[in-house]
Chain A
Amino acid sequence: MTNTTLETKSSPNTNTGEAGSLQLTGISKSYGGGNGPLAVDNINLQIKSGEFLTLLGPSGCGKTTTLRMIAGFENPTAGELTLDGEDMIGLTPDKRPMAMVFQSYALFPHMSVYDNVAYGLKLLKMGKKQIEQEVNFALTSMSLLAFADRSPNQLSGGQQQRVALARALVMKPKVLLFDEPLSNLDAKLRVQMRTEIRRLQQKLGITSVYVTHDQDEAMSLSDRIVVMRHGKIEQLAPPRGGLPAAGVGLRGGFHRTGQLPRRRWFHCARYRRDSHGTGQRPRR
């Protein structure tokens, strides 16, 4: 993974996406009518402009639902969501200035790498010349230029992941959303990719919300970590300091609540062990 040229060149796109600040106020979500159990329960969060915030927690804790509500794929049952003071509730995902990187990458299999990255820009009715500049810039910065004409399924998992990232970044979104983007990669690649994501994010200063169940990933990436459980925020802390010593920190953190059933934790721990080498997290 040779590094990005972002440091030396500047993007030709004049419309530099300003980093946005997100405000979640009393966000709740219940499936199956208004009275069902709450998948997300009264989340209050202020995400500062340019901040990298991670939602961390075991499966079923509501972190992905929260992310999908920010993106607009789910509608909150209650609560407010604003971006730079602008109300987002009721806006369809395509109207929100955000871009998402999916766990399954969700590359369009019938388009070349180039067309995948150019897709969103074409929808903006940008000129061909400018699209070419933007896409080439994004592909170069991800060391993907050589693969521009390939079909996504001719690429390795790591390359596919970088295409997905380039496709989101090229949009210059105000907020970048990550839904466990690294969980389909092998352990070594995962470590490489998270360094890369962090560097890009800091370089571009894009506000980012990142969902993961992997504690190490959260620690190495984030400005702040939100630990979720049962749809609620359990802890909110910078990666070091607020939590007990790194490595065992979150495990201890979960335990001390005294309410978490052991079986539940085992579930989470299994994923964690997976994250250190062997298997992959089963896809949603």
Chain B
Amino acid sequence: MKKLMEGSEAMAEAAIAAGCRFFAGYPMTPFTELLEHFARRMPEVGGVCINAESELEAVGMAWGALATGARAATGSTGQGLSLMQESFSEITLAELPLVIFNMARGQQDYYQSTRGGGHGDYRHIVLAPADLAEAIELTQLAFHLADTWRNPVLVYGDYLTAHIQEAVEVDPLELGPVADKDWALDGSLGGTGRSRIISPLGFAKTGRRSPGIEQHLRTMTDKSRQIEAAEVRVEVGHVDDAQTVIVAFGTPGKFVRYVVNQLRADGERIGFVRPITLWPYPTDAVAAAAEGARTVGVFELCAGQMIDDVRLSVLGRAPVVGIGGISTDGSGFGVGPLLDAEIIRDRILALHRGETMPPLPDNERLEV
């Protein structure tokens, strides 16, 4: 049965439906409500939610919970995730299936999510839902993919994902089997000569074959290549004969899809590409859409980050132009006036017709 829920609640319920039984986090807008829902719900389902004293400690606690084989998650806004980056790097190298929620302030964390703010060559699978139904699906998929690949997965939401209310249903998805966690620790093998170690450094216990750090890092790189080949997800619309292609992800991707559908109905030859996975990036889909197009526009709520990946996909087939920009409310946490169907329509049409791009709308600042 459908129930009116805010996004944070829907995502917490989806995580619990996926078997997540440990969560640790530190309050920060607009992530706070996700933590609140986990804090209320985890004890009811036999899980644990710790209101950690810092983001550094939250991610460390999740690390420990994962080592026991539990499905575990943490999260924050991009600012809080900056503090967790060292652990993200190491958890990835330790091959632990962490799920991370970024309830981001706009889309300023694209680089952080897809390039990794931490050290080393690691990659995280990044899932970017456009609406709550998709957020529920992708949250469950995140735990499945994390276990499948023994690699962290980040769910990229925002202020609207966290706070918007929709009538939705959280049904557990049947996503297929995952391998037994024969690496998980329970303490039972102490003194048997078969005890286990979970290490980011490629260490094995004395007497076992150890890959060594160099081979371990190469194996992790090979895994990244396999994920790139297997896990790309993308939504594409009206690109076959499109003269103009617009690329956008997450909540702005939903707005762009709506506007492009309208413009198509008006007879404009415009299409869209909405990456659902930000890593691995839907390079082939963007390249195919750009083939034959006159121009590719990138609408993102930041100074221009994903545009790099669009250019790396298009590889000169067409000019790539940023048509988004920085737009926030007065607090810097929420939604600015740029996220508006009429304004987005004007910007897409300006690009399509080769007209001057309208200036970015300013938020109405309250005089104090």
Do A and B make up one complex? Answer: no
Q: Which residues of B are in contact with A by a Cβ distance under 8 Å?
A: none
Could you tell me which A residues sit within 8 Å of B by CB distance? Answer: none
